[in-house]
Structure 1
């Protein structure tokens, strides 16, 4: 019952997305399974830190990455904080836990040249799926939306007259993103082909498969991976890298960080600052090439 109360809290009060809530639930289920086997008779509410630590050690021994372990522990920590908040527990057994050291993943964005090459390649597409894929990629690069946000876009969210897109982000927070002319034109082409589909089952959603049903996340990933594998040698080719490219390219061209924060739907600048690494590297190049004292004088 306490886990159900916790997930309801995440859904109705914290306004978390269903996918996020499912991840929390899965982490708690896995932990309870471990406790049932290793600490028979114990419940989530009467565990001590040393018992929780045996679970953490077991995850390490299984070869799980420190990053994944920290995420699982974070789910459990959020649960315990909730239990303390509602008065069902006096203290959080994870209150003094320190996260495991995790190597920081470097997300390498696509270069502007790679982006241009993919979009140029897409311009040769003329059928429904080809135009749809072009709009998917152009929207990712022109708006920085998340994959789940793109999948959930509805027809009414696209306002071609005002050249804007309404996006429902994390915690049901809405944001309006302006659209550039090339995206508007591709959207018009796509909508014309979309209206010609023989069967449309999920008419309220913007992006559909050729069978007329709402596009799904694995298909979106496959679209990005397929097209960018032709133009990029980068190991990771995903919708998130496109979002990363959007932010990095804006910042490298001098965009205001607060504006980029709003476009991305971040709740704090700290999240947006992750994308400044590559733009700072670009600034260093410009600085090194332009500053009169940056080169040794003979």
Structure 2
């Protein structure tokens, strides 16, 4: 980011981190979008004041300046994300009185076909649950194996996000109430009930950490072999490795386990509003995508079971 606009973007990104409590990954994406936009402005229109940016400049960038991966044409989904970044930035700029109006009011987002969320079939998750019966167990018997097992169990049984898992404090797990308190997006708290079996694993894990690690981060629940707080790449690699052994779906990320959690709940008849609260969604619209998988499942059952199907 050049000095011309960094005096605006730096406090905006700090606001996202401190006030909105966005994840480092999300903030990095916002920062890159803004860097690309302002670089385009300088190359195309020169060094212009923030208040003099016109909506036509934004349109020009979206029409020809935005590129996808490896220089390919950007998808509508990518363009929408960048529009969302600029809308948030100029809304903040308006609040700070850096501009008198947002240039984004005349910018419309392209329509995007909704993709159904991928998820792991119940059979695959049951294989993980019964991994002790396998000829080659999925988890090693040491502390790191317990950490890896809890990563999978917590993500699947609670549906929490990657950032929420990494930041999960030890004190947020209440063994007596059998709940986990999660601090999600926008600093919103939600309470998620957990199974007695998962709590037993957590209690055993706590005891093992204290027994085997001379020094470790006592604030967070999950730590690596060195007793340090987990980092995103570590969790991602664990999930990818384990899921690759129980499913053939192409994407095997921590977020897939969140989708799996929600899909299995809706397939079992869970109330959509309850699923919304468990996921920490701000609106029901974000949760309704999981009903499509439920409808597809009902169609499959109908076609196999009904004599006139």
TM over 0.5, yes or no?
A: yes
Q: Name the residue aligned to 1:65.
A: 75
CA contact (8 A) 1:155 1:204 kept: yes
Which of these residues, 118, 129, 141, is aligned with residue 156 of structure 2?
141
CA contact (8 A) 1:134 1:186 kept: no
Partner of 1:116: 126
Q: Identify if the C-alpha distance between structure 1 residues 221 and 18 changes in structure 2 by more than 3 Å, giving closer, same or farther.
A: closer
Aligned 8 A contact 2:162 2:255 in 1 = yes
* Matches of 2:132 and 2:231, distance apart in 1: 20
Secondary structure in 2 aligned to 1:230?
coil
Superposition map of 1:214-293 within 5 A: 214-289=229-304
Map 1:146-161 → 2, pairs under 5 A? 146-161=161-176
Mapped partners of 1:151, 1:13: distance in 2 = 19
| C-alpha distance after superposition, 1:180-207 (max 9, x if no partner) | 1221122223222222233333221110
| Deviation digits for residues 59-94 of structure 1 (CA, Å, limit 9, x no counterpart) | 148323332222112211222223334443233222
Deviation at 1:4, TM superposition (A): 3.8
For structure 2, the 5+ residue unaligned runs are 1-6
1:49 and 2:55 are equivalent in the alignment:
yes
Aligned pair in 2 of structure 1 residues 83, 190: CA closer, same or farther (>3 Å)?
same
Distance 1:207 1:74 in 2: 33
Q: Assess if the C-alpha contact under 8 Å between 1:131 and 1:189 holds in 2.
A: no
Residue 25 of structure 1 and its aligned partner are, at CA, apart by 2.8
Confirm whether residue 80 of structure 1 aligns to residue 90 of structure 2.
yes
Query: Is structure 2 residue 226 aligned with structure 1 residue 211?
Result: yes
| 1:195 equivalenced with 2:210 (yes/no) | yes
- DSSP 3-state at the match of 1:75: helix
| 1:131-168 Cα distance to aligned partner (Å, 9 max, x none) | 21111111111110101100001111111222111111
Q: Which residue matches 1:39?
A: 45
**Equivalent residue number for residue 308 of structure 2:** 295
Classify the secondary structure of the residue corresponding to 1:177.
Answer: strand
Q: Assess, with a 3 A threshold, how the Cα gap between structure 1 residues 14 and 151 changes in structure 2: closer, same or farther.
A: closer
Which is further off, 128-137 or 19-28?
Answer: 19-28
TM-score scaled to structure 2, two decimals? 0.86
TM-score (norm 1): 0.89
Count the aligned residue pairs.
Answer: 294
Question: Post-superposition shift, 1:51?
Answer: 1.9
- State whether residues 175 and 265 of structure 1, in contact with CA within 8 Å, keep that contact through their aligned partners in structure 2: yes
Change (3 A) 1:154 1:248: same
- Which secondary structure does the structure 2 equivalent of 1:219 belong to? helix
Unaligned stretches of 5+ in structure 1? none
